[in-house]
Amino acid sequence: MHKSLRAILILLIVISFAGCDQATKSIAKRELQFSTSVTLVGGLVRLHYAENEGGFLSIGSELPVVVHRLIAILLTCIVLVGLILLLSFAQNIKLSSLILFSLLLAGSLGNLIDRLFNHGRVVDFLILGTNTIHTGILNIADLLIITSILMLFIAELLCKRAG
């Protein structure tokens, strides 16, 4: 793929999905912050507003505020720089990997924007599953990160199995 076309594709994915993440967080903050949970799709989707000061699933939230904010922001910046370098310089990257790494970049950027402009907290609002089996509270950026990492891992396993 030509470098300029590749750059345009990466930018479109990152801007679109990080923008979608920020838009849904804004709607959640406006519509859910002071209301009770909303249940959809026969209880498989629950909308409930929360702000997460820790990392994924509140990991690290028990640390002093300054420490976990600094760690979360620094780790995210390291991931972002690594992804940008990978996407910029990887020569023979498959289109599927390019898209998945771009989605990972978009999700990481979406949560970094929250941390920088929401006093170190990330807006979460989405719980998927049933009453007995369900996710923690997430947002679109988290779903992008989880899904892209899982898909990259599965793709790598399939490549190793085929080769």
Question: Using CA atoms, how far apart are residues 59 and 31, in angstroms rounded to an integer?
Answer: 26
33-45 mean pLDDT: 92
**Percent share of the chain, pLDDT over 70:** 95
Query: Given this model, what pLDDT does residue 163 score?
Result: 66
| Position 131 confidence tier, pLDDT thresholds 50, 70, 90 | confident
Residue 111: partners with Cβ closer than 8 Å, 6 or more residues away:
21, 76, 122, 139, 141, 142, 145
Q: Residue 44 above 70 pLDDT?
A: yes
* Residues 112 and 80: beta-carbon distance below 8 Å: yes
Residue 58: partners with Cβ closer than 8 Å, 6 or more residues away:
52, 136
Query: Given this model, what pLDDT does residue 58 score?
Result: 63
pTM of the model: 0.90
103-121 mean pLDDT: 95
59 vs 99, more confident: 99
6 vs 60, more confident: 6
Query: Given this model, what pLDDT does residue 65 score?
Result: 78
Side-chain-side CA neighbours of residue 84 (13 Å): 10
Q: Residue 138 above 70 pLDDT?
A: yes
Please state, rounded to an integer, the average pLDDT across all residues of the chain.
91
Tens of pLDDT, residue by residue over 61-97, are 677 878 878 888 999 999 999 999 999 998 889 999 9
CA dihedral 52, 118, 12, 90 (to 10 degrees): -70
Q: Residue 107 above 80 pLDDT?
A: yes
Query: Given this model, what pLDDT does residue 38 score?
Result: 92
Question: Using CA atoms, how far apart are residues 51 and 134, in angstroms rounded to an integer?
Answer: 18
The count of other CB atoms within 10 Å of the CB of residue 93 is 15
Q: Residue 160 above 90 pLDDT?
A: no
Residue 113: partners with Cβ closer than 8 Å, 6 or more residues away:
18, 22
